[in-house]
Structure 1
Amino acid sequence: MRPQRKIGLVLLMMTLILAACGGGQSSNQTGSGSSTSEEKVKLTVWHNFAGDDLRAQTVRSFIDQFAAEHPEVTLDAQAIPTDGYRQRLSTVAAANEMPDVFLVYAGSQSAEFHQANLIQPITEILDAHPEWRDSFLDGAFDPYEFEEGQFYSAPIAMSATSMLFYNKALFEQHNVEVPTTWDELMTAINTFNDNGVTPIALGNKAPWVAQSTIIGAIADRVTGTDWFVNAVAQQGAKFTDPEFIEALGYFKQLVDNNAFQEGANSIDNTQAEQYFIQGNAAMMISGAWTLTNLAASATEEQMKDIEVTVVPAIPEGRGEANTITGGAGGGMALSSRTEGKAKELALELIYTMSGPEAQKAIAESNSMVMYDTEIDESKVTPLYYKAFNLVKSSGITPVYDAYLSAEAAEVINNGLQEIMMGGSVEEVAQRLQDAQARSATP
């Protein structure tokens, strides 16, 4: 071979090698802004659906679905156990290294992330699917609307904390009407006590229970929601106002009439659920978690007698009657650092995890969603089906500890325990007011 030809072949080979190396570079961005190869976009998603329960499996299946539908994405999905999830998020938040998509809780956590500029709106994906956006229940976006018309998450869960569960067999046996008013509730309590049946099961060892399940429902019926919102903000309302003293008085009325079993402050919520399902109590005021717990622990024979309704109305109260305390639960948020193609795909992932198909599937895993969907009755427990439709037809009012400062929430939690042991309503109200005032003072 002549030298010139040999040199030409070498040059040609070098050109092809360089072209091949250059062709492997991609301009696509990862969630953190670095380049990838082979036109792959890297996304990270964190959530706390790490268990083997049906809801966790359902949520993870939609992440898998997204991965299958998007081979151009390298998806790093981390299921972090609930107990450690908040701490993991706090750690990466402090370093401004949030995952692209992550489960965020409604309330103080999402508000803190917004204030720290760690999340960005997902409004564009909601606007791209208006039928989906408009099918959420009233108030679903309230905890995630930090600027008017800008939404930072679409909830995939709902917190419903004050449903009235009752044992219809016990009501029929003792000829008691299911109460719809406070007077009817007191009549039922007195009748069950006279017949040796605990009226209302309560496990308040962890003191959030009475606050989350009972006082919010009672107080809203007395004061109305607007008063509570103003009291939280310390703008024109205080927790020492007569209406809140009256609301605490209704709770004390339950205590004074032996509505709860003896030692309610020394047993936990799970023990109270078992006490109720075994037929020792006629009623239990509790949240959606009880639906899951009873489905897992109660027999079919026990479950057939359990019905669900709302806490009774209170006469001349400012609040509405047909309501349940609760609101939007957790939803998927988008890191403020995710941009370009990664952002586009991250929004698609959020839609996959919280769109109509996912909302229906999560609801059919016996989990409450803040979304108006029809569910297949054969896929859920009968009690859950009744509760799901009850929630859809009821108004939603605030859970106290979702809005109070951490200090004030602790005060009302412990204060309700004190009232159950004979403590002063007025003193609890004053301490609550003092604590919330401290948090509201700049």
Structure 2
Amino acid sequence: MTTSRRTFLGLVGGGALAAGLAACGSSGPKSTSGSTTGGAAAGSGTTTYWFLTGQPQQAIREAQVKRFNDANSSSTIKTTEFQNDAFKQKIKTAIGAGQGPTLIWGWGGGGLKSYVDANQVEDLTGWFGDNADLKNSIFPSAFGAATVGGKIYAMPVETVTPIVLFYDKRSFEKVGAEPPKSWQDIMNLVPKFNDKGIAPFSLGGQSRWTNMMWLEFLFDRIGGSEVFQNIYEGKANGWSDPSALKALEEMQNLIKANGFIKGFSSITADSNADQALLYTGKAAMMLHGAWTYGNMKASGGDFVTGGHLGYMNFPPYDGGKGDPTDTVGNPGQYLSISSKASQADKDNAKKFLANNTLDKDSVDAWVKSGNIAVAKSSKDRLSSITDTNDKDWLNFVYDTSANAKTFAQSWDQALSPTQAETLLDNIAKLFQLSISPQQFADHMNAVIGQ
């Protein structure tokens, strides 16, 4: 995973969005395993919480724990911080041995489902029923990746990062065209841009997961959210749904029409080269995560500050079943409670979830860092943003996330590791036109439920 993937890049120096912050990649500060933060003395209490290093997220999490510990001196939370890769290894081993932390930080989806299947995390459905105001304060769509078998096993926390269709207004002016309002518009724009020597779309295809974002939207726009939901739930031959096969076919139609920059399969997202193609005018459009805004503002000259960047939700498919308000990406991050913890620690953890994860101080901090928190109250904080471009952008992200009837989790996070790796491998082949849509579906159907 790229170091800039799936997080916004922080607001610094008077509110300018800036690049260079670690996300769910492997870079960032060294592991501080065994350290305590937030004012907790070593060994005080037994309620434990493990989370990731990397700013600005790390500092916000530390401040949350400090506020809790300052208010609960007799029942503090002890924290341990890990780099991303170390965290993934340690948490899996510890939970498997029944020795995980009280509070389990994660991405929801497939990872959470594995914990639920092993009876390692608490069912929070009843607790949310008793705390309706808390539940109602969170974007409803964020609960999808927290829900397994109709029950809630995690609280959505932190931030939302949808996938966005970015475009260069200057390129559209050069060809005398308007931004696409449908998939057919996208296909009609391809030759217009190619005729002017502008690539229709930038794509860091070597990274594979960047290609995946296209399929996530096409599946949704053509067949509706239930197509991938059936796959997630392990329905046999889910990838052979007629809408899925149609989406795969349309994907290859765009590739065959030279919809992407030449040599896209050798371009990496890690280097941000795909973003550079957009802000330098070499490509007209780019489907990418909301986290790329910060780097494009920091590295793109006047691309953002000069008002040349446009953005929109992915357009509908002509005759498709999908809801055009749906989005995909990261609907939040998630905190679960270990089923192996003592009742006192479970109660302490629930108190922390209720009072310190989406409280006013937390939401303020996330917005100041250039993020939209999963809380509806984020909207109220946007008035504090003074930069017009940033304010417009954050309002767009808020509206996209809050209005989405379905906010689907990125497939490689929603699925099990076995399915995710098979998926990324076959997506690369699909985009290289080395396998057909039916072959793609056959390969993926073979690992459904694994």
The TM-score bracket by the shorter chain reads 0.7 to 0.9
Residues 105-162 of structure 1 deviation map (CA, whole Å, 9 limit, x = unaligned): 20122122222222213456534542221122223223333465x5322111455453
1:430 is matched with 442
- Which whole-Å CA distance do the structure 1 matches of 2:315 and 2:85 have between them? 35
Residue aligned with 2:63, SS: helix
Q: What is the CA-CA distance between 1:41 and the residue it aligns to?
A: 3.5
Residue aligned with 1:318, SS: coil
Change in CA separation of 1:300 and 1:127 when aligned onto 2, cut-off 3 Å = farther
Q: What is the CA-CA distance between 1:258 and the residue it aligns to?
A: 1.2
1:210 is matched with 211
2:82 is matched with 80
Q: Which moved more, 1:90-99 or 1:331-340?
A: 331-340
Change in CA separation of 1:152 and 1:238 when aligned onto 2, cut-off 3 Å = closer
Answer yes or no: is the 8 Å Cα contact 1:199–1:282 preserved in 2.
Answer: yes
1:390 is matched with 400
Structure with the largest fraction of helix: 1
Change in CA separation of 1:43 and 1:254 when aligned onto 2, cut-off 3 Å = same
- Which whole-Å CA distance do the structure 1 matches of 2:426 and 2:159 have between them? 27
Structure 1: runs of 5+ lacking an equivalent: 1-36
Residues 150-195 of structure 1 deviation map (CA, whole Å, 9 limit, x = unaligned): 5322111455453101112322333210111112112222211111
Query: Which residue, out of 101, 104, 111, partners 1:102?
Result: 104
TM-score, normalised by the number of residues in structure 1: 0.81
Change in CA separation of 1:395 and 1:172 when aligned onto 2, cut-off 3 Å = farther
Change in CA separation of 1:241 and 1:111 when aligned onto 2, cut-off 3 Å = closer
- Which whole-Å CA distance do the structure 1 matches of 2:411 and 2:199 have between them? 26
Q: Which moved more, 1:337-346 or 1:217-226?
A: 337-346
1:252 is matched with 252
- Which whole-Å CA distance do the structure 2 matches of 1:115 and 1:236 have between them? 19
Aligned amino acid, residue 392 of structure 1: A
Residue aligned with 2:318, SS: coil
Change in CA separation of 1:82 and 1:406 when aligned onto 2, cut-off 3 Å = closer
Determine if the alignment matches structure 1 residue 419 to structure 2 residue 418: no
Q: What is the CA-CA distance between 1:286 and the residue it aligns to?
A: 0.9
Query: Which residue, out of 330, 333, 347, partners 1:330?
Result: 333
* 1:5-154 aligned within 5 A: 41-48=45-52, 50-53=53-56, 55-123=57-125, 126-146=128-148, 148=150, 150-154=151-155
- Which whole-Å CA distance do the structure 2 matches of 1:301 and 1:234 have between them? 44
Structure 2: runs of 5+ lacking an equivalent: 1-40
Change in CA separation of 1:90 and 1:312 when aligned onto 2, cut-off 3 Å = same
- Which whole-Å CA distance do the structure 2 matches of 1:124 and 1:432 have between them? 36
- Which whole-Å CA distance do the structure 2 matches of 1:389 and 1:415 have between them? 33
Change in CA separation of 1:234 and 1:98 when aligned onto 2, cut-off 3 Å = closer
Change in CA separation of 1:416 and 1:159 when aligned onto 2, cut-off 3 Å = farther
Change in CA separation of 1:70 and 1:225 when aligned onto 2, cut-off 3 Å = same
- Which whole-Å CA distance do the structure 2 matches of 1:81 and 1:299 have between them? 32
- Which whole-Å CA distance do the structure 2 matches of 1:333 and 1:102 have between them? 5
Residue aligned with 1:66, SS: helix
2:227 is matched with 227
Residues 46-94 of structure 1 deviation map (CA, whole Å, 9 limit, x = unaligned): 111x2233x3322321111112222223432122112221111012113
- Which whole-Å CA distance do the structure 2 matches of 1:87 and 1:236 have between them? 30
Change in CA separation of 1:296 and 1:75 when aligned onto 2, cut-off 3 Å = farther
Aligned amino acid, residue 228 of structure 1: F
Q: What is the CA-CA distance between 1:234 and the residue it aligns to?
A: 5.2
Residues 265-321 of structure 1 deviation map (CA, whole Å, 9 limit, x = unaligned): 111112212222222211110112223443554445544321211112111112222
The structure with more radius of gyration: 1
Aligned amino acid, residue 51 of structure 2: H
Aligned amino acid, residue 193 of structure 2: F
* 1:307-322 aligned within 5 A: 307-322=310-325
Answer yes or no: is the 8 Å Cα contact 1:415–1:428 preserved in 2.
Answer: yes
Change in CA separation of 1:164 and 1:93 when aligned onto 2, cut-off 3 Å = same
Change in CA separation of 1:191 and 1:157 when aligned onto 2, cut-off 3 Å = farther
- Which whole-Å CA distance do the structure 1 matches of 2:176 and 2:256 have between them? 23
Aligned amino acid, residue 370 of structure 1: V
- Which whole-Å CA distance do the structure 1 matches of 2:344 and 2:124 have between them? 15
- Which whole-Å CA distance do the structure 1 matches of 2:294 and 2:61 have between them? 16
- Which whole-Å CA distance do the structure 1 matches of 2:122 and 2:231 have between them? 30
Change in CA separation of 1:401 and 1:41 when aligned onto 2, cut-off 3 Å = closer
TM-score, normalised by the number of residues in structure 2: 0.80
Residue aligned with 2:176, SS: coil
- Which whole-Å CA distance do the structure 2 matches of 1:108 and 1:231 have between them? 12
Answer yes or no: is the 8 Å Cα contact 1:105–1:331 preserved in 2.
Answer: yes
RMSD: 2.7
Task: Count residues in correspondence.
Answer: 397
Answer yes or no: is the 8 Å Cα contact 1:162–1:285 preserved in 2.
Answer: yes
Answer yes or no: is the 8 Å Cα contact 1:157–1:328 preserved in 2.
Answer: no
- Which whole-Å CA distance do the structure 1 matches of 2:373 and 2:181 have between them? 26
Change in CA separation of 1:85 and 1:405 when aligned onto 2, cut-off 3 Å = closer
Change in CA separation of 1:191 and 1:413 when aligned onto 2, cut-off 3 Å = same
Answer yes or no: is the 8 Å Cα contact 1:120–1:336 preserved in 2.
Answer: yes
Determine if the alignment matches structure 1 residue 362 to structure 2 residue 366: yes
Percent identity, please.
Answer: 21
Answer yes or no: is the 8 Å Cα contact 1:59–1:353 preserved in 2.
Answer: no
- Which whole-Å CA distance do the structure 1 matches of 2:131 and 2:358 have between them? 9
Q: What is the CA-CA distance between 1:236 and the residue it aligns to?
A: 7.0
1:376 is matched with 382
Answer yes or no: is the 8 Å Cα contact 2:382–2:394 preserved in 1.
Answer: no
Answer yes or no: is the 8 Å Cα contact 2:159–2:332 preserved in 1.
Answer: yes
Residue aligned with 2:375, SS: coil
